[in-house]
Amino acid sequence: MWEKIFLLQGFCVMSYEISRKYMVFLIRLLVIVVTAYVIIFTPAGEVDKFRGYAFIAFYLFTNLIMAYMPDRYFEEGQIFYFFVFFDTLLIVGGIYAAGLVGTDLYLAYFLILCLASLSAQFRYLMISVMVFIGLYGWFLYKNGYFSGDMAVSYLLRLPFILVIAMFYGFIVTTLLQDRERRYHETQERYWQLFQSSDVFVYTVGLFGEYLFANPKLYEAYGFADEVSMLGMSFSRFHDAEETGKFQSRLDAVFEQGRPVQYESYDSYVQQWLSHTLSPIFDQSQRNVFAVAVVSKDITERVQKEEELKKAYEKLRETRDQLIQKDKMAALGRLASGVAHEIRNPLEIISMGVDYLENALPADNPDAARSIEKINSAIDRANVIINDVLKFSRKSGSVIEPVDIGALVAETLSMADHHIQKLGVQVDRQSPESPVRVAGNRNLLSQVLLNLINNAADAMADANSRQLQVRVYTRKVTDVGYKTGYRRADYFRMGEEMVVVEIADSGHGIDENDLPKIFEPFFTTKETGQGTGLGLSLAHMIMDRMLGTIDVSSSPGAGTTFYVKLQPETKIQIIQEAEYDEFQEKSADH
């Protein structure tokens, strides 16, 4: 490492760019030479002379050893502390060896040490030392010390003081420069980190005014530079709710002096942010005078969490639907047995009613009305039994290509009387070209007719009576019931499905009733207007054709059913699935 060192000798200033080790070597050599002259030209006894020469030889030897030390040792400041300690002891020893212990040279030496330790820059130290040397030389001259036997010794004190000041001044200045260099390097690293940071970093005052902002922040807020944004309040860029959240946390940091973390949505930059508010203390470390804020974009994480939450809800719904399917299968088997057991006594009742009808006089109107009610009840019971048997028994069906758009039109025509009676307006939308699905025409017609009639009934007392029936195809993009990545799923991700969407503008389905609508015998209609088996049968029919029925509804917003069907290319797959199911049931029996 190279540095510029200024050496002042007299009134000449010379600048050298040399290595630290070489510079220390030269200055120490000057110290040794001048100290040697002081020792040599100071009158003393033989013993003192011998000690002085030994000191000079040892000092030179240490300088030679230093010359062979690797340069890397001089890049760090620790070795200069060693030189300060070691050379201070040596120079004190040299003054003692010269027999100048009782003179004012000690005082001048320690004064130079004080000046060197207090000086922040080498040049100012040299100026101070030159002034001191001038005053000290004038004092010696005025008192006649520059004449007599000790004249040379006193005269050599002046360069001795100069080189000592140069030596310690260089070391002190080098240490200060190292510390300043490390400080600036650290500051530069932090500044580069601050400028290139991909998060919002800023400081605010007590009232939320911006005191400092990194480029990421002020550019996101539409400013060309930091100065344009400083002094503005947080509330200028955020609504009252966001400002209130931020200000409450800011007040807590100022009051408690502890960091605070929270997350919020920044409507200005349209990102979810995780904020960390940290106190900045004054020099006393007692009072918070500002707060540093680091805001990290967590939008992607929040979106992933929302997707995970939706996936969990879908998984829960799928689990409930699978449980419901098992319940329906068990109920179907139970219902079949119960229906047969009920039909036998029902036939006996019917025979008894026929007997009573023939036995009673024809002119009894009360008896005739009673018998009519009994027959009506028997007929209704027979309808329920037939529905139960349909629910529990898989009827034979042929899977074939079905033009679903044409089938929807035919089904609406079949339900037209009921629709017109309730004053419902129908909006049918389907592609001009035929959309063919894999299914059984009669069973699909039964499913659609049930859904259309239910939709019309749901709008019987609604202010707006709009029925929308749409036919369209789409790619599978969401995980749901029998929809996803599993081999058992009817619809795999990325595949095509055909959707018949039936939406009404009725009152909607209550949130508590929504999970129950596919259960057998569940109905929200009044007594006598429904058996509660229509949607159960529709669900069973769709399951046999590897399709699904989904529903979305909320009170006051109407209800939409989504009948999801396989395209005609899946006919063979459905037939194979039916055959596999038949084989499994045959094996069970």
* Separation of alpha carbons 568 and 403, rounded Å: 9
Listed range (62-71, 314-323, 577-586) with the worst mean pLDDT: 577-586
Residue 521, pLDDT score: 61
387 and 413 inside one domain: no
Residue 588 above 60 pLDDT? no
Residue 8 above 90 pLDDT? no
Give 18's strand partners.
Answer: 3
Cα end-to-end span (Å), the chain: 94
| Nearest partner of 91 among 76, 108, 115, 74, judged by Cα | 108
* Separation of alpha carbons 514 and 558, rounded Å: 13
Residue 2, pLDDT score: 30
Tokens of 473: 């195809």
CA angle at residue 273 from 270 to 279, to 5 degrees?
Answer: 135
132 and 11 inside one domain: yes
- Using DSSP, how many helices (H) and how many strands (E) does the chain show? 15, 16
* Separation of alpha carbons 288 and 256, rounded Å: 9
Highest mean pLDDT among 130-134, 298-302, 381-385: 298-302
* Number of residues in the chain: 589
Q: What average pLDDT does the structure give for the chain?
A: 77
Query: What does the DSSP 8-state code read for residue 440?
Result: -
Kindly state the average pLDDT of the residues 497-511: 88
| Nearest partner of 500 among 545, 570, 547, judged by Cα | 547
60 and 189 inside one domain: yes
Residue 586 above 50 pLDDT? no
457 and 365 inside one domain: no
Q: How many Cα atoms within 13 Å fall on the side-chain side of residue 361?
A: 4
* Separation of alpha carbons 577 and 288, rounded Å: 72
72 and 116 inside one domain: yes
209 and 231 Cβ atoms separated by less than 8 Å: yes
One-letter amino acid at 58 equals F
Residue 550, pLDDT score: 87
92-97 contacts at long range (C-beta below 8 A, 24 or more positions apart): 93/55, 94/35, 94/38, 94/39, 94/52, 94/55, 94/56, 94/59, 97/39, 97/48, 97/51, 97/52, 97/54, 97/55
Residue 498, pLDDT score: 93
Full DSSP string of 224-252: SSSTTTTT-BGGGSS-HHHHHHHHHHHHH
Given pLDDT bands bounded at 50, 70 and 90, which one contains residue 468? very high
- What's the structural domain count of the chain? 4
For the segment 71-89, what is each residue's pLDDT rounded down to a tens digit?
887 777 778 778 777 877 7
203 and 183 inside one domain: no
Give 400's strand partners.
Answer: 439
The percentage of the chain sitting over the pLDDT mark of 70, rounded to a whole number, equals 77
CATH of the domain at 270: 3.30.450.20
Q: Which of 393, 422, 447 is the last residue of a domain?
A: 393
Residue 390, pLDDT score: 56
Residue 61 above 80 pLDDT? yes
Q: How many Cα atoms within 13 Å fall on the side-chain side of residue 392?
A: 18
Q: What share of the chain is helix, strand, coil (3-state, %, to 5)?
A: 55, 20, 25
Residue 520 above 70 pLDDT? no
* Separation of alpha carbons 163 and 182, rounded Å: 28
* CA-to-CA separations, 440 to 291, 398, 444, 541, 585, in angstroms, rounded: 70, 6, 6, 9, 22
Query: What does the DSSP 8-state code read for residue 492?
Result: E
For the segment 98-133, what is each residue's pLDDT rounded down to a tens digit?
666 656 665 666 666 666 666 667 777 777 778 877
**Which residue segment(s) compose the domain that 214 sits in?**
198-297
Q: Which of 276, 297, 318 is the last residue of a domain?
A: 297
Top pLDDT among 190 and 254 is at 254
| Strands 425-429, 466-475: pairing kind | parallel
Listed range (252-256, 478-482, 569-573) with the worst mean pLDDT: 478-482
Tokens of 86: 């070691």
CATH of the domain at 408: 3.30.565.10
Residue 12, pLDDT score: 32
* Separation of alpha carbons 170 and 1, rounded Å: 15
For 285: left if phi > 0, alpha if psi spans -120 to 50, otherwise beta; the answer is left
163 and 30 inside one domain: yes
Highest mean pLDDT among 107-121, 509-523, 552-566: 552-566
**Taking the CB of residue 352, how many other CB atoms lie within 10 A of it?**
11
Top pLDDT among 547 and 106 is at 547
One-letter amino acid at 578 equals E
Kindly state the average pLDDT of the residues 169-182: 80
The percentage of the chain sitting over the pLDDT mark of 90, rounded to a whole number, equals 7
Q: Which of 364, 393, 422 is the last residue of a domain?
A: 393
551 and 562 Cβ atoms separated by less than 8 Å: yes
351 and 227 inside one domain: no
Kindly state the average pLDDT of the residues 493-507: 90
Kindly state the average pLDDT of the residues 180-192: 76
Given pLDDT bands bounded at 50, 70 and 90, which one contains residue 322? low
Residue 579, pLDDT score: 54
Listed range (175-184, 263-272, 333-342, 572-581) with the worst mean pLDDT: 333-342
Which are the contacts of 37, defined by CB distance < 8 A and separation ≥ 6? 156
Residue 436 above 80 pLDDT? yes
3-state DSSP assignment of residue 101: coil
| Nearest partner of 259 among 244, 239, 274, 272, judged by Cα | 274
Residue 449, pLDDT score: 87
* Separation of alpha carbons 133 and 117, rounded Å: 18
Helices (H), 438-570: 441-458, 534-544
Top pLDDT among 488 and 270 is at 270
294 and 200 Cβ atoms separated by less than 8 Å: yes
* Separation of alpha carbons 162 and 129, rounded Å: 7
Q: How far is CA 326 from the centre of its chain?
A: 41
242 and 348 inside one domain: no
Q: How many Cα atoms within 13 Å fall on the side-chain side of residue 395?
A: 14
248 and 343 inside one domain: no
* Separation of alpha carbons 356 and 350, rounded Å: 10
Kindly state the average pLDDT of the residues 144-168: 79
226 and 369 inside one domain: no
518 and 573 inside one domain: yes
Give 471's strand partners.
Answer: 500
Residue 4 above 50 pLDDT? no
| Residue 187, H or E segment | helix 151-196
